[in-house]
Amino acid sequence: MLAQLGLLRASMEVWGGARMLLALLLFSGPRERTAASPTSGGVKCIYYNEEYLICDWAIKGKPAVNYSLYYWYSGSGNSPITECKRYLQTDDGINTGCRLDGGEIETCCSFNVYVNASHTNPIPIQLGLLQHLVKPDPPINFTVQNKSDNQLELTWSTTYHPPHCLAHAVKYRTNKDSEWTEQIVPGMKFNIPSVDPKKFYTFYVRSKVNQNCGTTKLWSEMTGPIYWGEKTTDGSAWFWIRNVLFPIGSFVLLLAFLVLLMRMERVWLVLMPRIPNPSKRFEDLFTAYQGNFSEWAGVSKDAVESFKPNYRESICRVSELLPGGGYLPVSNDAAGKAGWVPGGSTDHIPKISPE
């Protein structure tokens, strides 16, 4: 296998432009391919912060078979073809990538790799200078300071060397903005000349190698967020407080109050006694006893009879005293009522002189 790779390398160095033709001839040979093979997805190599290199060929998924990676540097004399010493593998031992560390990396020469499986022909890939594949680490020590006259100054630092080879992008917006604003700055400082103290600001920053040191398009991961302004003016925070926290909190308080009332029913009855319903208490009096209060109350008949009168009182007749003395004659009419007789004589009525 190493001899075959050496012949391919020699051919690519001698004929120069014929390397692409050789690659096409290798691709056109009969071989088995998988959906996640390097022939369909390629190999993606990234030089992280110029500290270690990772080449990944499982971009579109886990490979069906094990692939091996061989690499060398062109333009550096007799650079040997070397197989990867540290493969990145899945849990079941399938190679998905290769990692190269400091002593194995040369930045002055073009980097070339072969990736092949045991049943396929080598696949040559020329990646070029590694300085064009650098992805720096995210910025560190990201801070914001308030200067005079509502001026903000953002500062940060980096672990990448040399730092002057980096360009930086600051992204920010306020709680009143619907879109982000992004500005490219050469150094590790960014000033906003005027800010609104009534707004809430959010900031991010990221870095990449600038055009003076490389042509990479690989940005670092974002650092942030950091904030400036009154948090109470944060629109998104106030939205969640007003539309989510308040309704949920009110519902929980109401539920707790109802549970408390149910558990304190005895206390509630003492504080707020209920008005009794007389229809339920006296229902038997009107239905079963037909309004007989004595029977309903359980009073004996002897007790009831004892309250009835057992004597008769004679009628006392009263007559009007006449002016001349004596009394007006009294008679019983047909109805049995007492009265005087019209035109009747009063001679037979004895006169009674008042004493």
Question: Each residue of 214-258: pLDDT tens digit?
Answer: 888 899 999 999 999 876 444 556 667 777 888 898 889 988 888
Structure tokens at 266: 């005895």
Do 166 and 127 belong together in one domain? Answer: no
Query: Which of 87, 105, 134 is the C-terminal boundary of a domain?
Result: 134
| Residue 62: predicted pLDDT | 82
Q: Mind listing the pLDDT tens digit for each residue in 172-192? A: 999 989 899 999 998 999 999
Q: Which domain holds residue 143?
A: 137-233
Average pLDDT, the chain: 75
Rounded to an integer, the average pLDDT of 9-15 is: 44
Q: Mind listing the pLDDT tens digit for each residue in 37-84? A: 444 457 889 999 999 999 998 877 888 888 889 998 887 666 788 899
Phi-psi region of 120 (alpha: psi -120 to 50; beta: other; left: phi over 0): beta
| Residue 285: predicted pLDDT | 66
49 vs 209: CA distance, rounded Å: 10
Rounded to an integer, the average pLDDT of 290-304 is: 71
Do 157 and 101 belong together in one domain? Answer: no
- 164 vs 122, residue with greater confidence: 164
Q: Mind listing the pLDDT tens digit for each residue in 309-342? A: 776 767 777 766 666 666 556 555 544 454 454 5
101 vs 105: CA distance, rounded Å: 7
**3-class secondary structure, 102:** helix
| Residue 183: predicted pLDDT | 94
Taking a C-beta distance cutoff of 8 angstroms, is the pair 131, 213 a contact? yes
Query: Which of 82, 107, 134 is the C-terminal boundary of a domain?
Result: 134
Do 175 and 123 belong together in one domain? Answer: no
Kindly report the CATH number assigned to the domain that includes residue 94.
2.60.40.10
Q: Tell whether 303 is covered by a domain.
A: no
| Residue 103: predicted pLDDT | 83
Q: Tell whether 255 is covered by a domain.
A: no
225 vs 11: CA distance, rounded Å: 52
